[in-house]
Amino acid sequence: MPHSDPRTLVSTDWLARHLADPDLRILDASWYLPGTGRDPHAEYQAGHVPGARFFDIDEISDSASALPHMAPPPEKFMSRCRAMGVGDGHQVVVYDGAGLFSAARVWWLFRHMGHMDVAVLDGGLPKWQAEGRPLEDMPPMARERHMTARRQAQMVKDVTQVAAASKLRDAEIVDARGPARFRGTEPEPRPGLRAGHIPGSKNLHYATLLNPDGTMKPAEALRAAFEAAGVDLARPVITTCGSGVTAAILSLALEVIGHRDHALYDGSWAEWGQFDELKVETG
């Protein structure tokens, strides 16, 4: 059964049926790791789901932080959404050009800002295109819409809170990076970072949660993947990754299986990996 929950994941069929809804807002949140040679904004301009606005993860972020695309202050989030014509009372659907990658980060960001009527398009733009569905190359005319943001502080963790959880082992820390980066046998894509992982953390590569077509696996398979990674789902979970993008895929999966007590470590390895006073495990 395809996922169709307007608060977590919706299918391409669901989006096609609701495309003309006046209170639907679609966001293209494509973002790629440095070195992939893909330009998400140029791809958006060449073709996007009809009515989609482009959501720039790097720009709609905390410009005061040296870390990549940290969650923005609520005022900045509200003003950017308002300008895109996204606001209170809207059902938001987020997709990306990879299938299911960076869209989960924007899903998490909307929820972090208190906007719960937000879903990721399961399989993203690749699935939409593979099914021969329509694209357009003109951005929509955006009329400003009032947006209220109420930051949900419990949904995000900072380095001090994660260090405490690592020491006390009172929450499961789950790392979405690939196994070689987690073990420290493969260098980090960002220069200057140490290799390895947060002590006591478990590794669940985000790709293991996805089907070959970029859709998310069914809930039973997601639960089994967390359990196979040694995650005790009776406990609170903190998700982490390289820079807080793929961690949100784990957060989305937790929400799909009904695990509500989860938070995302926004600084992730981009922060932890640069400070020598923070312990690192390898292997």
The count of structural domains within the chain is 2
**Given the DSSP bridges, would you call strands 91-95 and 118-121 parallel, antiparallel or unpaired?**
parallel
Show which of 116, 151, 186 is a domain's final residue. 151
For the chain, give the mean pLDDT.
97
Please tell me the predicted confidence (pLDDT) of residue 219.
Answer: 97
Q: Kindly list the catalytic residues.
A: 241
Residue 81 lies in a domain: yes
Please tell me the predicted confidence (pLDDT) of residue 1.
Answer: 77
Show which of 115, 136, 151 is a domain's final residue. 151
> Are 30 and 119 within one domain?
yes
DSSP state of 8: S
Region 106-122 average pLDDT:
98
What tens digit of pLDDT does each residue of 131-181 get? Answer: 999 999 999 998 999 999 999 999 999 999 999 999 999 999 999 999 999
Contact 176, 238 (CB under 8 A): no
Q: Has residue 35 got a pLDDT over 90?
A: no
Contact 280, 184 (CB under 8 A): yes
Residue 23 lies in a domain: yes
The domain in which residue 222 lies consists of: 154-272
Please tell me the predicted confidence (pLDDT) of residue 218.
Answer: 97
Please tell me the predicted confidence (pLDDT) of residue 247.
Answer: 98
Where does the pLDDT of residue 14 fall: very low under 50, low under 70, confident under 90, or very high at 90 and above? very high
Distance between CA atoms of 246 and 28, rounded to whole angstroms?
A: 16
Show which of 134, 151, 168 is a domain's final residue. 151
Region 188-195 average pLDDT:
91
Structure tokens at 277: 């006073």
Distance between CA atoms of 34 and 32, rounded to whole angstroms?
A: 6
Residue 281 lies in a domain: no
Radius of gyration of the chain (CA): 18
Q: Has residue 2 got a pLDDT over 90?
A: no
What tens digit of pLDDT does each residue of 43-102 get? Answer: 999 999 999 999 999 999 999 999 999 999 999 999 999 999 999 999 999 999 999 999
Q: Range with the lowest mean pLDDT among 28-32, 139-143, 164-168, 256-260?
A: 139-143
Please tell me the predicted confidence (pLDDT) of residue 175.
Answer: 98
> Are 189 and 92 within one domain?
no
Closest CA to 24 of 158, 121, 152: 121
What tens digit of pLDDT does each residue of 214-242 get? Answer: 999 999 999 999 999 999 999 999 999 99
Burial (0-12, 13-18, 19+ Cβ within 10 Å), 208: middle
